[in-house]
Homo-oligomer: A and B are copies of this chain.
Amino acid sequence: MKSKNSIQNIVMLGAGSVATHMALALQMHGYHISQVYSRTSDSAKILSQRTNSGFITDLEQLDTNADLYIIALKDSVVECLIKKLFVNGIVVHTSGTLPMSLLENMSRNYGVFYPLQTFSKSRPIRFDHIPICLEASDDESLAALKQVAATLSDKIYMMDSSQRQYIHLAAVFSCNFSNFMYVAAADVLRDHHISFEILIPLIREFFDKVTMMEPWDAQTGPAIREDKGIIRKQMELLDEYPEYKEIYRQITEKIIERKRKETNS
Residues of A within 8 A of B (CB): 74-76, 79, 97, 116-118, 120, 123, 125, 129-131, 155, 157, 159, 162-163, 165-186, 188-189, 191-194, 196, 198-207, 209-211, 214-216, 218-225, 227, 229-230, 233-234, 237-238, 243-244, 246-248, 250-251, 254-255, 257-258
Contact = CB atoms under 8 A, between A and B. Distances in A.
Contact of A192 (B166, B204, B254): B166
Contact of A205 (B75, B125, B214): B125
Given A131-B198, A174-B184, 13 more contacts: A79-B229, A97-B233, A116-B199, A117-B205, A171-B202, A174-B182, A176-B222, A181-B181, A183-B219, A200-B210, A203-B207, A243-B257, A244-B254
B192 A162 contact: yes
Contact of A174 (B97, B116, B172, B185): B185
B177 A251 contact: yes
Contacts of A120: 220
A205 B254 CA distance: 27
B166 A254 contact: no
Nearest to A157: B198
This chain's copy number in the assembly: 2
Chain B CB within 10 Å, residue with most, of A157, A181, A188 = A181
Contacts of A172: 221-223, 234, 248
Contacts of A201: 116-117, 129-131, 155
A175 B206 contact: yes
A182 B210 contact: yes
A144 B224 CA distance: 34
B214 A176 contact: no
A205 B167 CA distance: 16
Contacts of A254: 180, 243-244, 247
B192 A163 contact: yes
Contacts of A244: 173, 254
A210 B206 CA distance: 13
A185 B173 CA distance: 6
Contacts of A186: 170, 214-216
